[in-house]
């Protein structure tokens, strides 16, 4: 799990209320701990560092909520940062709504 603030600004209001802060990266052995109860990041620092480098490379290439990646394609239609709408597709619709509108 990646570090993130509680109630991140880039998420829609209805979804932000359910987000807890994550102060640092977390790593779980899903074969042994499906419920994600035991963070093993401290015992596997090299894996966490490698994953964080891969994430940084992907963010630089593709972008993220707060930046445009150097290889991102322009959005079609409307695009409002933080609105939950990217191009013409909405993500995580509330109450099982249709994600394609």
- Phi, psi (5° rounding) for residue 41? -60, -40
Is 75's pLDDT higher than 90?
no
Q: How confident is the model at residue 64 (pLDDT cuts 50, 70, 90)?
A: confident
The pTM of the full predicted model, rounded to 2 decimals, is 0.59
Residue 44 CB contacts under 8 Å (≥ 6 apart), including other chains: 27
**Mean pLDDT, residues 11-37:** 84
Tell me the C-alpha distance between 48 and 93, whole Å.
31
Is 10's pLDDT higher than 90?
no
**Mean pLDDT, residues 28-33:** 95
């Amino acid at each position: 799990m990646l570090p993130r603030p509680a109630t991140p600004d880039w998420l829609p209001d209805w979804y932000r209320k359910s987000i807890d802060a994550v102060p640092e990266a977390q790593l779980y052995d899903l074969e042994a701990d499906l419920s994600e109860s035991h963070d093993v990041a401290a015992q596997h620092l090299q894996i966490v560092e490698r994953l964080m480098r891969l994430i940084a490379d992907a963010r630089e290439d593709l972008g993220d909520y707060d930046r445009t990646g150097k290889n991102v394609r322009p959005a079609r239609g409307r695009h409002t940062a933080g609105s939950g709408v990217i191009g013409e597709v909405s993500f995580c619709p509330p109450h099982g709504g249709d994600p394609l509108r």
